[in-house]
Amino acid sequence: MWLYLVTLVGLYYLLRWYRERQVVSNLQDKHVFITGCDSGFGNLLSRQLDRRGMRVLAACLTEKGAEELRNKTSDRLKTVILDVTKTESVVEATQWVKERVGNRGLWGLVNNAGISIPSGLNEFLKKEHFAKILDVNLLGMIDVTLSMLPLVRKAKGRVVNVSSILGRLCMFGGGYCISKYGVEAFSDSLRRELSYFGAKVAIIEPGFFQTAISSSDRHLSCNKMLWDQASSEVKEIYDEKFLLSYETTIKLLDKLCNKDLSMVTDCMEHALTSRHPRTRYSAGWDAKLFYIPVSYLPTFLADRILFWTSTKPEKAL
């Protein structure tokens, strides 16, 4: 009995391995539009796909970031300035893409642009703090996707949305985790809609990696600013041990951050080039071996593992 079961599982993974190794033909003729290419995952993916011979259309927030990327890549790669929070900028970028892809359509759209601060204890934040992150990570992504969708559908291409393991497991307050939960939901609904037209949607769920948005210095500075701006009533309720607990967690996560960004960009590349891409890619051993398993645990147990339930001040109870 067990032998049959092991054989079936082995055959399943062998078949999956074979399917996932099949590559899309004529990659050198396919255009891929990537947002957030100034640094981090977007920057590395642009260079990675350019080396593979694909036609990369890289969207950067700043001209400096665009120039630095062009200096590191071939003449095939083209750049455009894009602020995903401004609809007029998205419309201009879409027109720019149309002029380059022509009747072939857009093979790949990679929604990578994102920010992570301000984040912290929810009661230290205001509505505008949440809105700032949601405008980039979720609403900006939706705006870009809806604008580019006719081009992707025409090519029967791919939409690759960069979520996070924090789209499965919320670990701190603010708009970041909320935005990533939203990315997951939008991607799921979009995948079902586009399947009718032969287009595919993949979600990338990285663990903790060392990028500009994960910088511990920026998070600690933001946390200190939020503490200084908090009302005396809020400070009295929470007192400084909550601040110290948050800072300790940020420093710990910074030490655990993976520096090998290719673990994420390899997943993105596979989602764009494989004939049979996965629906979800979990990048990083921390995501695979810790955060995803924890996300399936009963809530009370996950809370015990992740949070400091014993540090609540008596006056807050």
Active-site residue numbers? 176
Q: Return d(Cα 197, Cα 152) in angstroms, integer.
A: 10
Place of tokens 């041990």: 241
Residue 79 is which amino acid? T
Q: Provide the token pair at 74.
A: 């071939």
Instruction: Give the CA distances from residue 188 to residues 52, 161, 226, 287, 294, in Å, rounded to whole numbers and listed in that order.
Output: 29, 10, 34, 20, 22
CA pair distance 47, 278, nearest whole angstrom = 22
**Token pair for 281:** 């890619």
User: What is the DSSP annotation of the chain?
Assistant: -HHHHHHHHHHHHHHHHHHHTPBPS-GGG-EEEES--SSHHHHHHHHHHHHTT-EEEEEESSHHHHHHHHHTS-TT-EEEE--TT-HHHHHHHHHHHHHHHGGG--SEEEE------SBS-GGG--HHHHHHHHIIIIIIHHHHHHHHHHHHHHHT-EEEEE--GGGTS--SSBHHHHHHHHHHHHHHHHHHHHGGGT-EEEEEEE--B-SGGG-HHHHHHHHHHHHHHS-HHHHHHHHHHHHHHHHHHHHHHHHH-B--THHHHHHHHHHHHBSS--SEEEESHHIIIIIHHHHTS-HHHHHHHHS-GGG--GGG-
